[in-house]
A and B are shown apart, each in its own frame.
Chain A
């Protein structure tokens, strides 16, 4: 066998192998999509599977979802509001902090940066209870600010921005100072525009975190019309009434916008969600 045919055989084998892997990967989502075309009562009786009577497949579950007879879009709106505010504030505040660490020398810098690493290292679940008690004392239970306030400055983002800015020459800062730009002007007018690519990646990172966050919002919010989408979907998991209809169609509808965004902004998704990977 010569080199070329050997390469072709390897190529075909790899292709087949990855096609199988890709199918297995997509299978749970296909299962969800197919099931959204049949009544939820089927799920309870027959289980989640691909045996669907295509002649009777319909969009009734989606009609029910959009009928406004349920809380789904209230949850959707809550999640959307929280995600947008949290991403905007977290990006801005973390960028400030990252900039401070990257471009200045000051007393206590190392020890404070060590604190950033400490927060990054300790899983948020560790302080779940004391943080909840604090939020309770601040009277922010059942309030979307209770979800957001502790997580407006994200160590991961600080780390990433600092890393990103370390590639920008300090002479730029010096030159702007000579031109009479104030310290904050330098940040807003010169650095923020330079950081745009990192904002895209980090925006998606934080957006995914906020949109998919489950445990903390579940703990902080109790009212059924104030909960976020993941918490709301979880509450539908008991087979009662038309819960399953909304659960399945609603789960699909929760992923679709993200999938669409992913198709268009793939590069930023991958960059953002794998941020913190080792460089060099």
Chain B
């Protein structure tokens, strides 16, 4: 009885309570995240076959020189760069237009543009796979047919595969990114624009010298999430090609390669080496980003 009381007192003390509150995180962090990272690093130096493991040195990392791996890395990088290049300016301009005083029915358009974000990658993928089908009657072939262009086998050629992937990304995420910019725009004080127009600044100049610089924090955030979403892209490609195999690996991404080695070919060591590489890339990108933002001692000396 007395022991129970002491325990209770301990648990309820102001010193211990915060640790109880954060315990769920600490436990899941250690059990799932930290353990996974460590076991992945260990496995990347091992040959794993069933229950038998043996030290493999760096041989798993030979995958880094593999042509298909390099292609997947390039695909992921290309996807990331282009999605960043389109998913920042387009939503920003749309938000600026939507935010202008002359705009009517703002909230209706805002909501409609947000709707695609509600669809899962699977539903979106089903529709886009069929829209970009190779039949003459597939929607996109009908569209280009209007301009006299012949039916295309969209999902077999690199260029058209990329077009499909970018349109899918643009369709799903424009509304969300636009929403970030709208809330960013609302924090810019109105009188800045008023005094600028009194000084005779055109609306283009206002965009260039007021809006874009003051939206920098939003842009940095959107850039960050776009980079990580881009590098981790897998499901979009998986849906468009109905599986992890695309003709000539046109749609194979970094995660696709990890999935192929780890789950399809049972090359656990190699898959782990890819995972470690991926982790390294993520950390390096983060360091560069923090440095550029000046939050990591870059500017203050």
Q: Which A residues have a C-beta under 8 Å from some C-beta of B?
A: 7, 10-11, 14-15, 17-18, 21-22, 25-26, 28-29, 31-32, 43, 45-51, 93-94, 96-97, 99-101, 103-106, 109, 112, 115-116, 118-119, 121-134, 149-150, 152-153, 158, 177, 182-184, 187, 208, 211-212, 214-215, 219, 230-231, 233-234, 237-238, 247-248, 251, 254-255, 258-259, 262, 266, 269-270, 273-274, 276-278, 280
26 A-B pairs (CB sep. < 8 Å): A14-B97, A14-B104, A15-B103, A18-B109, A21-B109, A25-B112, A28-B124, A47-B136, A48-B138, A49-B138, A112-B26, A121-B282, A126-B232, A128-B259, A129-B40, A130-B39, A133-B268, A183-B13, A183-B14, A183-B17, A212-B120, A230-B121, A233-B122, A237-B239, A251-B123, A280-B217
Are B32 and A131 closer than 8 Å at their CB atoms? yes
Residue of A nearest to B180 (CB): A277
Instruction: Determine the chain A residues whose CB is within 8 A of the CB of B116 once the complex forms.
Output: 25, 28-29
The answer to the question of B205 belonging to the interface, with a C-beta cut-off of 8 Å to chain A, is: no
What separation, in Å, do the CA atoms of A141 and B120 have in the docked complex?
23
Instruction: Determine the chain B residues whose CB is within 8 A of the CB of A32 once the complex forms.
Output: 123, 126-127
Residue of A nearest to B12 (CB): A182
The answer to the question of B231 belonging to the interface, with a C-beta cut-off of 8 Å to chain A, is: yes
What separation, in Å, do the CA atoms of A211 and B35 have in the docked complex?
27
Are B24 and A93 closer than 8 Å at their CB atoms? yes
A237-B129, A270-B114 known; A152 vs B139 contact (CB < 8 Å): no
What separation, in Å, do the CA atoms of A133 and B208 have in the docked complex?
51
Tell me whether chain A's interface is mostly helix, strand or loop, or mixed. helix
Are B135 and A277 closer than 8 Å at their CB atoms? no
What separation, in Å, do the CA atoms of A199 and B252 have in the docked complex?
38
Instruction: Determine the chain B residues whose CB is within 8 A of the CB of A259 once the complex forms.
Output: 115, 118
Q: How far is the CB of B191 from chain A (nearest CB, A)?
A: 18
A11-B104, A128-B258, A153-B25 known; A254 vs B142 contact (CB < 8 Å): no
What separation, in Å, do the CA atoms of A25 and B114 have in the docked complex?
9
State which of A50, A187, A269 has its C-beta within 8 Å of the C-beta of B114: A269
| Total contacts A-B at CB 8 Å | 274
Instruction: Determine the chain B residues whose CB is within 8 A of the CB of A123 once the complex forms.
Output: 228, 231-232, 278, 282
The answer to the question of B78 belonging to the interface, with a C-beta cut-off of 8 Å to chain A, is: no
Instruction: Determine the chain A residues whose CB is within 8 A of the CB of B112 once the complex forms.
Output: 22, 25-26
Are A96 and B263 closer than 8 Å at their CB atoms? no
Are A214 and B127 closer than 8 Å at their CB atoms? no
Which of A208, A212, A280 has its CB near the most chain B CB atoms (within 10 A)?
A: A212
A31-B131, A134-B32, A251-B123 known; A128 vs B255 contact (CB < 8 Å): yes
Of all A-B residue pairs in the complex, the 8 with the closest CB atoms, nearest first, are A100-B21, A212-B120, A104-B18, A47-B138, A47-B135, A48-B130, A183-B17, A47-B137
State which of B138, B139, B179, B263 has its C-beta within 8 Å of the C-beta of A270: B179
Are B218 and A104 closer than 8 Å at their CB atoms? no
A237-B126, A251-B126 known; A126 vs B235 contact (CB < 8 Å): no
Are A48 and B133 closer than 8 Å at their CB atoms? yes
The answer to the question of B202 belonging to the interface, with a C-beta cut-off of 8 Å to chain A, is: no
Are B29 and A119 closer than 8 Å at their CB atoms? yes
What separation, in Å, do the CA atoms of A84 and B1 have in the docked complex?
39
Are B24 and A127 closer than 8 Å at their CB atoms? no
Residue of B nearest to A35 (CB): B130
Are B36 and A43 closer than 8 Å at their CB atoms? no
What separation, in Å, do the CA atoms of A162 and B44 have in the docked complex?
36
State which of B104, B105, B115 has its C-beta within 8 Å of the C-beta of A26: B115
Are B282 and A122 closer than 8 Å at their CB atoms? yes
Q: How far is the CB of A210 from chain B (nearest CB, A)?
A: 11
A230-B121, A234-B239 known; A31 vs B275 contact (CB < 8 Å): no
The answer to the question of B77 belonging to the interface, with a C-beta cut-off of 8 Å to chain A, is: no
Are A152 and B28 closer than 8 Å at their CB atoms? yes
The answer to the question of B141 belonging to the interface, with a C-beta cut-off of 8 Å to chain A, is: yes
The answer to the question of B66 belonging to the interface, with a C-beta cut-off of 8 Å to chain A, is: no
What separation, in Å, do the CA atoms of A119 and B32 have in the docked complex?
11
Instruction: Determine the chain A residues whose CB is within 8 A of the CB of B130 once the complex forms.
Output: 43, 47-48
What separation, in Å, do the CA atoms of A197 and B130 have in the docked complex?
40
Q: How far is the CB of B188 from chain A (nearest CB, A)?
A: 12
The answer to the question of B92 belonging to the interface, with a C-beta cut-off of 8 Å to chain A, is: no
The answer to the question of B248 belonging to the interface, with a C-beta cut-off of 8 Å to chain A, is: no
Residue of B nearest to A51 (CB): B137
Are B36 and A130 closer than 8 Å at their CB atoms? yes
Are B12 and A183 closer than 8 Å at their CB atoms? yes
Instruction: Determine the chain A residues whose CB is within 8 A of the CB of B15 once the complex forms.
Output: 106
Are A15 and B272 closer than 8 Å at their CB atoms? no
Are B183 and A274 closer than 8 Å at their CB atoms? yes
Instruction: Determine the chain B residues whose CB is within 8 A of the CB of A118 once the complex forms.
Output: 33
The answer to the question of B68 belonging to the interface, with a C-beta cut-off of 8 Å to chain A, is: no
**Other contacts beyond A115-B29, A131-B32: 19, CB < 8 A:** A28-B116, A46-B137, A49-B137, A97-B24, A100-B19, A103-B18, A106-B19, A122-B279, A122-B282, A123-B231, A128-B259, A152-B24, A212-B119, A214-B122, A234-B126, A255-B118, A269-B114, A277-B179, A278-B221
